[in-house]
Structure 1
């Protein structure tokens, strides 16, 4: 990090080098050395994302049918090696001096996970404040007995996005047979805005593109997503577009190196010469919350160009035939564009009229455009409005539902989208309850269950009394972490299905269990042999996965076997709930998924290893709009920002970010090489002019204090080093999940409840 304060933001280097290249190789090597991955780890990497191989446990980026020799990225390799560590967290670890649960709270997230793979089921012993080993049957019996005693509506069944479709389907079935729809999932915290927002405007809860579209497009308009850190395999598609002469226009408050330049680590010539591909033709540092205004500016230029074309008798810019046939709301939006004042757009977006005109011209000139976005776009109080505005831009030229075009939200965890598809959903109307009733001869609950926000509020208030967590580290992942810790520990029952120790284990309820599970790369031997599992990627492609490694411990169970073990101990016997049969042969579960969702999963078992996966379809991609009007909705924005608060002196917009050296709450290390931050995560990045105006200096130690008008709760995070960084004025940045203590649980998108973690109102104070 720099020691001297630059004169202004433009003097600051945004990154020490390109994405990919030798930096990527060094990143993988550092994890390999730190975890001391077990023998055969390289063979596991060779199998990643290939037919009859292992589907990566990292992001949900799709698997190409025409795969390369090494179909994995730096983050996928890190996630795989992290699980294949030689280290083991055995019962002896918990018995050692200094390892009570209370003492372990002083450990960092990184240190906790470095203890290695969990090897035995564990039960919390309050008398000793330690986890002690427990037999599986005893654990299931204890869990089942407590669940039977608790009021059905007070228990939550959470899923992290890792478990395969088979375990997820049975988990949802368990919850409904138990008596509730309390099935929140990690998408509640990231892309629920997509599920709700896209459904509202195009009738589809997921993106519309496939690899075929990526291969045909002329242009990407890119918002709030960082491929270098969160989906590095996407960089190959971005490079392919640039190689064929396409354009990429990026809008992001932070300059992300993956969207600046890339050296393909699978290209020997590029590795030898260091030749970079410049990714973004234009890079616009929109201020946090400024996307609505920026896109309105783009649309205004498109409308102006179309008006001139019609006046001159030239070819229309807007696809009026498409608009007339397929959309509603066009006239009101066009009037809004014509009336919009450039001074207001510039103020709200932080971008100049000339910059937006330059970007809009690329859109006008391109025949086929794909709109890409990530959580930087969705995690705002009006994140759904961001999505609606991007859809507006795409619809103006018919850039949804034809080859080379579409909407491309980039999802996070490997099966986060698929879990929703097979029933892990708190909204009852999203699930074919009639089919469940027919298949299993019981009456599924019809009352909506708890969203993650509802669950956290229930934990804080004491309403939630039992929590089953199928993967994840929820205490660390959600807003209002300090209040969450207290509520989590006050429950009657906490059950966590995990591969490694994490912070959520350290706030046990009155009864608490850690149930260790197999990783996806490990053999899952059941009655009918080694089992395959399936997952769904960001393009709605379904892929099979088969583990090949010996389990890390003979005491591990699969996620599916753990679900069925809890089910058998909790529910009364029922002839249609064949938990043992399903555990013995996962193909029977896939038959159930097919029977429940026949349009999406026909011939499921036959197609699961199709190269690249099989597509379960998307009506909007075929211009079938399952909206209330039967048409795609063009939205007139009621405001120019996605913020839920006003600016005022001393208030900044905090965006939380992830390091190159982490995946979600898993911290691999302390090297964020793309941002030049080494050896620490305790930093806050800030424009140097903002630093000077605040009377501070680069390198000062500061604290962030939440400046939220919604409640009187005090929230702060101290001990942060101030780093002068090239950011828009008024926007600051710091790391997730550390900053979750600053995010109020009620600070979320208005219609989806997704936490607004990319625009948190805070003050910066000397610490």
Structure 2
């Protein structure tokens, strides 16, 4: 078939000339070659702008080129000179746009005018900002606040996020689902119970002090490529790097530093992982249990032989609770069960555990390959169990490192974007702004989807993101979305969510982070929080693509003024004129977290929020770090008898739902995303050959037909009964009820499916 993707094995390391060519390609594609080259030099630099893609930490002493391939793509994507204005929408009804691909929609360029959907013509038409705010405010005031959702993607600044949550709570709702609900909510549930904080404990400087680094379910190649620099430095120091992941990912195998002329000229590379264990989909908890078993039984043997202890006994006795119960669980676990559940042999697990036990300072990194499982919360706790055995939390060079995705997805939670009332300082907000905040828990992302399908949610305000494309259950969500009374989307570019209108629909274009944000008080800066809890300042660098664009804070303020009665305690206009006033308000609300916020805004490397666990102060129910006994580690997702476990993944040419191009260089895919990566033995047993077309159908008993056809098979190095395909294309296969226990994160990394071979074209 002519529309099939081209498959060719890619043998080069991550980085290197392939990365350079990709950067040049995206700059040319977006017609910003000269401008883009200049702006890239200011990316992730003190006084410059912080990357709009991933949230990985920014060093105090940056490289000359402190950006990665994906960061350059995100920058070029935002500073493109291509625009989408009223003329575009006059030429294209939404019914036509719904036939376009995700890549085609966003590739049209930056939105330039506020638009309102006209149902009679099925087109967006221009509307003034004044009219848009007035009409949206009137619609919101017709709704019960319980029936309105205020969603946030991970890009909004700390200042915007704080204003947004204040607006929503003064309106009367706690319905603040956000992109965290779809990725690291499992972390936010697990870690407070076991170490008393909801975020990682590792700082960037710890990578220089670690003598062992571990990865679980995290592909740094596509999700946080700048992380490869400290990994390469660690590898060159001889630090063992141990990876557990179903697929072999190039960035965790080999890396060529594009900033190293010798490596580039000599086409050299650095081996990253010293051990690479291809755990079966959903088998991480069993592998971790096996490692803990090895370490504990080695300590038992040391006691018997009167040799030096393997465990950090002093740490365990002083700082932890529940060790004996957990240790007995590990001793009783059988190797047959561990091997079956993990998909790894005993020898491999022993090898990993032996290296771990001999190290003095260990960092454990993990990503959505852990959190997006039915038992993601439990598996995150298992990583903590492993670290606690040798005191690897709260000391230099060690700790737990959940690698977040979008650039401020962690920070927006810090300043009040949360549906859980107990996590927000409501008493302080009430005191500062003289109003009565709602005290009920709001809707998570999954809750919001269920309520939209049931017709209970009537209004949806989206601060960035591509909600309809990011969530599960597409076949039910899209028809239900069209029944919303109000849909308001604040965005920089056109995406799928914008072309499925509700009864009243507005598309409000905003400045991007790289745009110069000139307000009454002069050019403004914003702040965000990275994965290591460091707060970074960011200042726009280029002239906005169109006159009349408003900043996100200005849009939030405009909506708030049009919706809420005046409040003498909140001067929205003053806040928009000078974002430093918003930062002062954040500091007053969170004085322990944001001391001297404005003074430290552009501190090189950012300033870290204080965390008790870094100092071995445990804000848990027991007052200690808690070992926990797993219940499901040896009961992985079902497989065999025709059932395969699908994990969704990102390509090299995308970031989250944004598709820069339809290639995936590292996996050897060019010109298409409708592919499924399969184990070659599984393909042979099913009578499937490379390039055959198949259909995936979800295994569920709720009567909903979830299937996706026209998928091209690609033989790949992946464990048996495990398959992989792209997000967000496969989100329609995920039932809303298929989520992580305790966190409601969609379990997108282990979806039970059956495979049917389709007839050739």
What TM-score, normalized to structure 1?
0.97
In 2, Cα distance between equivalents of 1:658 and 1:403 = 33
Residue aligning to 1:650: 642
Residue aligning to 1:361: 354
In 2, Cα distance between equivalents of 1:410 and 1:688 = 31
Does 688-697 or 163-172 show the bigger shift? 688-697
Residue aligning to 2:105: 112
Residue aligning to 1:147: 140
In 2, Cα distance between equivalents of 1:722 and 1:547 = 44
Of 643, 651, 666, the residue aligned with 1:659 is 651
Residue aligning to 1:756: 747
Q: CA deviation at 1:697?
A: 1.7
Of 4, 19, 34, the residue aligned with 2:29 is 34
In 1, Cα distance between equivalents of 2:147 and 2:641 = 43
Q: CA deviation at 1:245?
A: 1.1
In 1, Cα distance between equivalents of 2:54 and 2:93 = 34
Decide whether the 8 Å contact of 2:103 with 2:662 is kept in 1.
Answer: no
In 2, Cα distance between equivalents of 1:637 and 1:728 = 24
Residue aligning to 1:705: 697
Residue aligning to 2:229: 236
Aligned pairs (5 A) from 1:226-375: 226-375=219-368
Counterpart secondary structure, 1:674: helix
Residue aligning to 2:670: 678
In 1, Cα distance between equivalents of 2:505 and 2:171 = 19
Confirm whether residue 16 of structure 1 aligns to residue 8 of structure 2: no
Q: CA deviation at 1:596?
A: 0.2
Decide whether the 8 Å contact of 1:124 with 1:513 is kept in 2.
Answer: yes
Decide whether the 8 Å contact of 1:382 with 1:642 is kept in 2.
Answer: no
Decide whether the 8 Å contact of 2:27 with 2:36 is kept in 1.
Answer: no
Aligned pairs (5 A) from 1:514-663: 514-641=507-634, 643=636, 645-663=637-655
Residue aligning to 1:73: 68
In 1, Cα distance between equivalents of 2:638 and 2:79 = 48
Q: CA deviation at 1:390?
A: 0.6
Confirm whether residue 215 of structure 1 aligns to residue 205 of structure 2: no
Q: CA deviation at 1:640?
A: 2.3
Q: CA deviation at 1:642?
A: 7.0
Decide whether the 8 Å contact of 2:116 with 2:126 is kept in 1.
Answer: yes
What does the per-residue CA deviation read over 1:162-193, in whole Å, with 9 as the maximum and x for residues that have no partner? 11000100000000000010011101000011
Aligned pairs (5 A) from 1:50-65: 50-65=45-60
Q: CA deviation at 1:548?
A: 2.1
Of 747, 757, 761, the residue aligned with 1:766 is 757
What does the per-residue CA deviation read over 1:222-271, in whole Å, with 9 as the maximum and x for residues that have no partner? 10111111101000010111111100010000100000000000100000
Counterpart secondary structure, 1:124: strand
In 1, Cα distance between equivalents of 2:626 and 2:95 = 53
In 1, Cα distance between equivalents of 2:473 and 2:614 = 38
Decide whether the 8 Å contact of 2:645 with 2:750 is kept in 1.
Answer: yes
Q: Following TM superposition, where does structure 1 have runs of at least 4 consecutive aligned residues deviating by more than 6 angstroms?
A: none
Structure 1, unpaired ranges of 5+ = 2-11
In 2, Cα distance between equivalents of 1:559 and 1:68 = 30
In 2, Cα distance between equivalents of 1:495 and 1:87 = 23
What TM-score, normalized to structure 2?
0.98
In 2, Cα distance between equivalents of 1:460 and 1:430 = 27
What does the per-residue CA deviation read over 1:561-582, in whole Å, with 9 as the maximum and x for residues that have no partner? 0000000000111111211111
In 2, Cα distance between equivalents of 1:375 and 1:37 = 33
In 2, Cα distance between equivalents of 1:188 and 1:48 = 28
Counterpart secondary structure, 1:40: helix
Aligned pair count? 753
Structure 2, unpaired ranges of 5+ = 2-6
Counterpart secondary structure, 1:611: coil
Confirm whether residue 743 of structure 1 aligns to residue 734 of structure 2: yes
Task: Note the aligned Cα RMSD (angstroms).
Answer: 1.2
In 2, Cα distance between equivalents of 1:459 and 1:486 = 10
Decide whether the 8 Å contact of 1:14 with 1:255 is kept in 2.
Answer: no
Residue aligning to 1:88: 83
Confirm whether residue 183 of structure 1 aligns to residue 180 of structure 2: no
Residue aligning to 1:203: 196
In 2, Cα distance between equivalents of 1:443 and 1:391 = 38
What does the per-residue CA deviation read over 1:4-42, in whole Å, with 9 as the maximum and x for residues that have no partner? xxxxxxxx9974210000011111112112111275221
Decide whether the 8 Å contact of 1:21 with 1:274 is kept in 2.
Answer: yes
